Structure formats: C-alpha cells, structure tokens
Structure 1
Amino acid sequence: MGTSTGTGDPVITVSGLRMRYDSFEAVRGIDLEVRRGEVFAFLGPNGAGKTTTVEILEGYRRRTGGDVTVLGEDPAHAGPPWRARIGVVLQESRPERDLTVAECLRLYAGYYPSPRGIDETMELVGLAGQADATATRLSGGQRRRLDVALSLIGDPELLFLDEPTTGFDPSARRAAWDMIAGLRSLGVTVFLTTHFMDEAEHLADHVMVISEGRIVASGPPGTLGGRQRAAAEISFTLPPGASVAALPGPVRDALVAVRADGTGGADHTLLRSARPLAVLGPLIAWAEHEGHDLPDLEVRRPSLEDVYLALTEPGTDALHPEAPRHSEAT
C-alpha cells in the first residue's frame, strides 16, 4: 500500500451528493473526502454510481443535490483557471494522428497557462526514448503512458485516473504502478478508479466502495470492511496415513471442511480461526512430533477482493469474524 506524502488538507469534499435520472437515483446521498497528496481509490461494480460521481467531480455533469468542492470550487460553476488545475485520463482515448509524442505534448501544452516542461513530462512517464515516435505506432502500454503525460503537461494538482491499466500485461501493469506511485513526489493527488483490487491495494492510501449509489465501506486497504479482524484460513493436505481424528484439539476445533482431491489421494483440510497462531502452533508441533511434512501449508487473511465481493455482491460469504464450528467430509 502506498504512503501519502501530502499535507493532508482536503482537495475534494463531497456532502450529501445525489444524482437522479428521471425516476432512477444513481447516487444516493454520498459523502467523501480526498486529502492532498494521497492516492484515493474509488471502487464499485458497473452501475453503482461510480462514473456519475467522477463526472460530477470533474465538472462534466451537473448534480441533482448535495455540496461538492474540488480544489476550493464547485465544479458545476468553475471556469478555465480551475480546469487547468486538474488532469483527466479517460479509460479509452485516441492519440493524435501523425504527431510524434513530443509534438502531442507540445500541442496540449499550448492549452495551459503554466505547462510542465515537455522533456520533464516524458521523463516522468517513461517516454523519454519515444519523443520522436509517432503516437499511433506506440504499444498499448506506451499509449497509456502518453495519456498520462498529456494529463500531466498542464502541471495539475489533481489527477483523475480511470482504469489506467486495463488490457496491460503484468509487466506493463507494474511499470504503470511505479509511474502512478511516483506522482506523489510531485505532490499530485490521484483519484483512481479501477476494477483491479490488487492495483487498489498496491497504490491507494484510502479506498472507498460504492454500491447501488451508496457508500458501503471506506478506509485504508488493509482495514477496509474489518479485514484485519477477519478470520484467517489455514489449509494443508493431510499427510499420508494421517486422519482428522489424530489432529490436535485446537486444530479440529477450527476445522471447516475436509475435501477429497478427487484422484484418490490425500484429503485437503481447511481451517478457519480469528487466532491463527493458536491453531498453527499445535498443528506444527503435531507434524514435527509425528514426522510429517506439510509442504502446501498456507495461511491467508481475506484479500481486498474478498472484502469487495462481500460488500458488493449479495450472498457472498467472504469475511468470517470468527471460525464456525462446522466440518464436512466429502
């Protein structure tokens, strides 16, 4: 998770935001605050009201109700000087035809009163070596870097990033993450929307989840939805010749399920406990005493994706504050 280096004063303040389309209320009285210098991840499924909210913050859509302040002004009434202080990277965009990277940046720099230097901007996004490359011939990852460069050329205080790594391979995604995280050193506040939970966890200082037009969770990625208090899952394969009945009492008490692997091999055992050390200690001591190895022993807390699904998908049972006393053999 990223660490904010900003001053902490609010850059975005929203109170009671509502947006209605005829009889449908897309945003239902939400509040949020984004502080200077942080990466703020705004998450939600399609149709949750996420895009509507972002467009209101960017000044592209007028709201039905509520109060919104972005960089000290109401986006619905802000003029060109305010717009020059923000940068927007849309989910999809097309580069200027027949222009090089440097020429694209020079063109866009002319729209701002105090643009950032072209060479500096290319260096920031890792395009210094492609200054003379035609924009339409760049790879997908390089085009996305150009999108970010075009949003940074005006030297914005606030940057809206919409799904910045969609379609990227793992290597390109990691490089993009480094670039986004590096914006903190410039004092840029980043408002990020993404469907990749690992991206939000890696980059964000603060995460907010919207579902059906309402905020359902807000906080640092590591504590969102109480995940730091949720039970851990412990899994391992029973050693050959061992049985569940032979396991120590604390291990049996945490047992959730024993599942056959379907090939006639050893059974896979799943435990769940809010106090994993109280289970792991007896399990490891038992294995060492009996001369067993547990090569696939795994301990995991609920991931940010688990939390997100539990918050946004009805019936999803992803978080367990304590271990249920239930087991089943198949």
Structure 2
Amino acid sequence: MPETTIFSHLSDISDLAPSLPEFDQQFADAARARQAQLTKPPGSLGKLEELAEFLAGWRGTAQPEIREAQALVFAGNHGVCDRGVNPFPQEVTVQMVANFEAGGAAINQLCQLSGANLSVVPLELDRPTGDFSTGAAMSEKECVDAINLGAAAVSTSADILILGEMGIGNSTVAAALAHGILGGDAKDWVGRGTGSDSDGQSLKARVVAEGVKRHASLSPMEKLAALGGREQAAICGAVIAARRARIPVVLDGYICTAACAPLLGADPRLLEHCLIGHASAEPGHKALCAAFDKAPILDLGMALGEGSGAALALMVLRGALSCHNGMATFAEAGVAGG
C-alpha cells in the first residue's frame, strides 16, 4: 500500500478528510446525460440510474465498469464476551473463519455468484480485545495497527470494495460504537445478534451503557479504540484506503456500518464514497442509516453479517452498469424521442 495509507496515531485520521479525493461531479453529470439518451423513459430505472452516476463520479469516468470486485471479511474476538453477552463461545469465530476459507459459508456462495474476489482476514483471534465495560478494548497502538492492516488489505486495482465482518460478540461492540458516537439509549442499539433472548438483550444493553459511560469523554476515533474491536478498526482502515484510490465501498449491514460510526463522528466526509448494501434486521440499523444519510440498496430482512448483504448489492450495481453502458441510445437504436 502507498505510504499515505499508513497511520501512526488516531489523530492522523481525524484531520484527513480535506486531503482525500472528492466526488467528480463532471463525470456524474456526463453519466446523467447518457442516461437521458438511453432507450427508456427518463428516470424509469430509478435507483439504478443514481447508482450509475454515483459510480461514475467516484471512478472518474462517464461509463464506469466493475472489472475487479474485491470482498474483504475481517474477523476478530472480543473481551466483552466475558460478560456473557453472547450465547456462543468465541471459538465459533475461529471455526467460521475456517468455514470461509473452505468455501462453505453464505458469503462464499454470494461472492462466487456476484463475481467478487473474497479474502478473509483474521485478526489475532487467539488474543481477544479487552472488556470495554471495565477498560479500553484496545490501546491506541493496537487500534492503529488494525487500521493499517485493514488499509493494506485493499487492492488498489479494484473497481469496487465489499466489506464484511465476523466475530462472536461484535453485535455488542456495534451497539457500543453506535451508542457512543450517536447517543440515545443503549437499548435502542441492541438487538438479537446471533440469537440472544430478551434477557440476553437486556444484559447487552446494560453492558453497552456501562462501557459508553466509562469512555464518554473520548473523541470519536478514541472511542473506536476504547469500544471497538480489531475487525471494526480494520474496516475503517479499508474504507480510508479505498477512498485514497477512488474505490467506492459497499458496507454490509449493522455491524459493518457501526464500525464506521467513529469515522462519521470524526468527519462525515470520510464516508462520502460509501454505499450501504442492505437494511439489516438489527433494530439499530435504521437509525444508523439515517445518521449516515444513506439509504440501503436492498431490504431483505437479513442479519447474517459476513458481507452477505453487500455481496448481493454488488449484483444490483452490476445491473445498474450493465444497463448504463450496454443499452442503446435513441440515436443508436433509431428510436424516436431522444
């Protein structure tokens, strides 16, 4: 990766936005002009047209293509699981990573179908982070190391980046990051995760509230270290590296979106190149999407994680560009009305 994607301190990220590449309205306008000449009523492809324009503006071409799609799934383990917030042991994270590597998970099937090159990146699974309810989950160095690992995993030759995660306990971490950055009540950010019952959700809400109160005075990026996990930090690093390379990013559902809440808190401009792949069934995701001012591409009632919703959304993006680039214009087709 270029040296500019490597960070030494969390404060390096907080001040980064003004130096990053911006959306190129010239190419988005050119894409919109092309849409107006295609053999269809104006606006009849709805959001597909908007997505084509979004990709044009970020890729710097009126007719963008997705030749290389990269999917990254980051995996981590969490000390907060010692509080009993998850019904499954952390060994499941290791087992699921092995399942990803063997090709047996949902994300494997969806990446194969959507044409994404999948890489799974485990992050010190034998060394969980600290329990954020009693102390910081990570030191600044540990957090920055994970951010840099996420940045280094991004292929700068990719045309689109799909992001996902795996980690027992990370729905609790997601709730803590969302609550810590956006406020509200802890219970509003807590859902079932991997199968918590009502008592389990109540416990998660209490633990989240304790952790957020403990770390309330910190800056948004400091809260990433205090409340987050290595996979959340790596997602942030990948988002920033993609922005430097003008690669649009598709975030998965609740946990992946919440991982970027510290970036939102630091400077919303850091996320301008991101799309949200799907609306998670986790109850806090709707409020997160509203805070990000981004409408999910799909809403299928999913809450699996792994990048599964983002991989499905990639097929919609491919459809948008297939129509945008492949349809004939009125002049080419000899159809009146153009």
TM-score (norm 2): 0.25
As a proportion of its length, which structure holds more strand?
A: 1
As a proportion of its length, which structure holds more helix?
A: 2
Bigger CA radius of gyration: 1
- Higher RCO structure, 1 or 2 (CA under 8 Å, sep 6+): 2
